[in-house]
Structure 1
Amino acid sequence: MLTAILVAILLSTIALTTGAEAQAGDCTGTVVLDPGHGGTDSGAVHNNGLQEKVQTLNVARSLKTLLENDGCPVFMTRTEDETLSNTQRANRANTTGAD
C-alpha cells in the first residue's frame, strides 16, 4: 500500500512539473500584488504571536523581487503595515493600468 501511495505522489509530481514553464522576460504587463490584511487588521494570529498581515507582506515583497528580477513590472497595493479598505485596494490597483 505504501508503495502505491509513493508511486502516486511521484507520478503526480512529474505530471505537475512537465508543463510549460514561464521564461525570464515573458511578462507582458504589470502585476499587482495585494498583501492581505494590514494595520489594525492582523488577520489570523498564531498562538506564538505570528500575524498573518506580517506574513502576507513578507511573501508579497519576496514575490515582487522575483518577478522584477524576471523583468516584470510589479505594483503592490501596500508596502507597509497600513489599514486599507477593499475599495482603497481596488482603487490603487486600478490606477496602475495592470492586466
Structure 2
Amino acid sequence: MTIPVAKLSNPAVRALVGAINDGDPTAFFAALTTDATMSDDGSDRPLAAWADREIFSSRGHMDVQAEKDGGLALIANYRNDTWGEMKTAWRFTVDGARVSRFETGQA
C-alpha cells in the first residue's frame, strides 16, 4: 500500500519527497540545507549532479511503501526513465526544518 506524500510523518522529508514527485528542482533544493550531502548505494555523490541525472532529467518518482524512525527512514518503489522501477531504501537526517543528508540505495 502506498503512503500518500501528504501523510508522511516528517515535514522536511514530506517536502523533499513532494518536490521529487512534482519534478520541482526549486522546491527540492529549498527542502535541503545549503550544505546538504547524499549517498547512493553507499557512495557519496555530488548532490546537484545526482539530482539532475537521477530525478529531474529522468522523471524520478517515489511511491512510499513504508516509513519508520519518525519518518526519517522510508522504503519506496522508485522509478525513473533511466533505471525503470526498483525497491529503494531512504534515510534522512533533518537539521531544523530541512534535510541535511539523505542516503539511498536498493532495498
Structure 1 length-normalised TM = 0.25
Whichever of the two has the greater Rg, that structure is 1
More strand per residue: 1 or 2?
2
Structure 2 length-normalised TM = 0.24
RCO higher in structure (CA 8 A, sep ≥6): 1
